[in-house]
Structure 1
């Protein structure tokens, strides 16, 4: 049976300890500049199950993972989740500090998430597959 965060009714996500620490620092760093995104990221961190890096399944989206996901319109997209300094939309490298990046972190194939774009529109995505980061792939 899936784990849920009782306070929000959302499915629990899985994060590596190192991703949790990095994302917490990033959420703190952007709090003054982008309070809304910072709060959304803190909400995701709050509902996360934190586990040792080496125990995170390869099917969980983490920093460096490449995910194939389907949007609410049925469009399939592929993106690699990266830290802000490594983001490059032309290469499908999306920052963990974008609304879709926050939505993807910690999800596994079959899981869905709703998110709000910067223009205020609501979207949904469903993860189809995940390729582990090169530094952890077996």
Structure 2
């Protein structure tokens, strides 16, 4: 996990994610990335949805990511677990890469543990951020 970069999270995303985490705990649902997500949530600087810069990854953002180990690009939408669908390129915030990108900005290089070891990723583009487009309910 890369803890050097400053990360930002909207108050809206923080509260929805916190509710999700509490619900998982109440229902005894385990997920290996829950602890990592909580760590990222707590260290993030929380900001109003209207003031988050448009180059930061928020929930429901569509981003382009470059795997620096393999020099390949992938595009996906960061979603809540119940909306995840790999065929539609919707990746859960509880997937290792989903947790890794939340709160980071375009250009950031992220070192993150994935099932096969540790990879380096760079956020190359944010193609859609709900807040930048006035979609404050997503």
TM-score tier after normalising by the smaller chain length = 0.7 to 0.9
Structure 1 position 130 matched with structure 2 position 92 = no
Contact 2:65 2:74 in 1 (8 A): yes
**TM-score, normalised relative to structure 1:** 0.83
Structure 1 unmatched ranges of 5 or more = 1-7
Q: Larger RCO: Structure 1 or Structure 2 (Cα < 8 Å, ≥ 6 residues apart)?
A: 2
Structure 1 ranges of 4+ moved more than 6 A: none
Distance 1:74 1:116, change over 3 A: same
Q: Distance in 2 between matches of 1:120 and 1:71?
A: 13
3-state SS in 2 of match to 1:55: coil
Structure 2 unmatched ranges of 5 or more = none
Report the Cα offset of residue 23 of structure 1: 1.6
**TM-score, normalised relative to structure 2:** 0.83
Q: Which of residues 14, 18, 29 is equivalent to 2:12? A: 18
Distance 1:66 1:9, change over 3 A: closer
Q: How many residues align?
A: 130
Contact 1:15 1:49 in 2 (8 A): yes
Structure 1 position 67 matched with structure 2 position 63 = yes
Report the Cα offset of residue 33 of structure 1: 3.1
